[in-house]
């Protein structure tokens, strides 16, 4: 894979950094381009990748492209890439939120195959949860390349594009829910007398540990919860309070609201 990164912000840099650490790619085969020179300079400094002077150079040097621009810049980037490729086959992996496979394939000629992805910000620390969907022109080899790239910064799974809005509502927006839970737990600890720094550390590590137990044991979360909640104990009292105050319902509503907003954004012409 010779990878061209279009938009060298945090997410593009995170994916490239993870792929480099996992030996999915080597820095000598990575080129970046960005409208902001300072972003491109930072990307090159962090990854040791090359800086492309224009799309012609990027297209000449690369066969796979990571589209990591803001959604409003997608059309212009696709037009520039299509012109520079001049009919040569290529794979485009899009991170652009709300831009459908249909729209991407309309913007690009038939020689460009497309895969759409939805990563999340914990990819920045190697703990991402990503999903992706194949376009009508993409191949099994394209799917494998995308899987390897995303798995370098966490977990990656293929889903039908119709489920990407739900992925956005769950894991795409999900880190914000987790941060709010950690903040609330820390505040509660402070209320009970813990120093704030220790409360934040304990809350964050507790959530990290709970997530690790789910992933490493493959047990249902309810089974793991019941392992903590002894009869008549502190945990079952806490669970009763959480149910009474609607934690479960609030999370259902949060994921539903984010999913709906993702669908709305996907229907806005770009």
For 2-44, write each residue's pLDDT tens digit. 999 999 999 999 999 999 998 999 999 999 999 999 999 999 9
pLDDT, tens digit (0-9, with 9 covering 90-100), for 169-224: 999 999 999 999 999 999 999 999 999 999 999 999 999 999 999 999 999 999 99
Query: What percent of the chain has a predicted confidence (pLDDT) above 70?
Result: 99
Specify the pLDDT at position 264.
Answer: 87
Extents of the domains making up the chain = 3-160, 172-265
Architecture of 172-265 per CATH? Orthogonal Bundle (1.10)
Tell me how far CA of residue 3 lies from CA of 156, 165, 173, 216, 266, in angstroms: 19, 27, 27, 32, 27
Specify the pLDDT at position 85.
Answer: 97
Specify the pLDDT at position 270.
Answer: 58
Specify the pLDDT at position 98.
Answer: 84
- CATH for 3-160 is 3.40.50.720
Q: Which residues pair with 116 in a beta bridge?
A: 94, 133
Residue 152 corresponds to which tokens in the numbers above?
């370098």
Q: pTM for the complete prediction? A: 0.91
Q: Is the pLDDT of residue 269 over 80?
A: no
């Amino acid at each position: 894979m010779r990878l061209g990164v279009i938009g060298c912000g945090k997410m593009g840099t995170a994916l490239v950094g993870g792929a480099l650490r996992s030996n999915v790619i080597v820095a000598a085969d990575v080129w970046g381009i960005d409208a902001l020179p300072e972003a491109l300079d930072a990307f090159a400094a962090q990854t040791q990748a090359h800086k492309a002077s224009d799309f012609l150079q990027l297209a000449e040097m690369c066969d796979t492209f990571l589209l990591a621009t803001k959604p409003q810049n997608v059309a212009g980037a696709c037009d520039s890439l299509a012109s520079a490729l001049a009919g040569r086959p290529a794979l485009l992996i899009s991170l652009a939120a709300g831009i459908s496979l249909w729209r991407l394939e309309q913007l690009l000629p038939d020689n460009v195959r497309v895969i759409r992805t939805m990563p999340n910000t914990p990819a920045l620390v190697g703990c991402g949860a990503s999903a992706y969907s194949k376009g009508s022109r993409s191949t099994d080899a394209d799917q494998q390349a995308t899987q390897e790239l995303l798995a370098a910064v966490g977990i990656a799974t293929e889903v039908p594009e119709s489920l990407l809005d739900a992925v956005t509502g769950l894991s795409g927006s999900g880190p914000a829910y987790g941060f709010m839970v950690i903040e609330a737990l820390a505040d509660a600890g402070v209320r009970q007398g813990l120093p704030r720094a220790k409360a934040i550390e304990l809350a964050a590590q507790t959530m990290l540990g709970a997530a690790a137990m789910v992933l490493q044991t493959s047990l249902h979360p309810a089974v793991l919860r019941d392992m903590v909640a002894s009869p008549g104990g502190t945990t079952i009292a806490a669970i009763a309070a959480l149910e009474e105050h609607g934690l479960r319902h609030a999370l259902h509503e949060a994921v539903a609201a984010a999913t709906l907003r993702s669908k709305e954004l996907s229907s806005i012409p770009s």
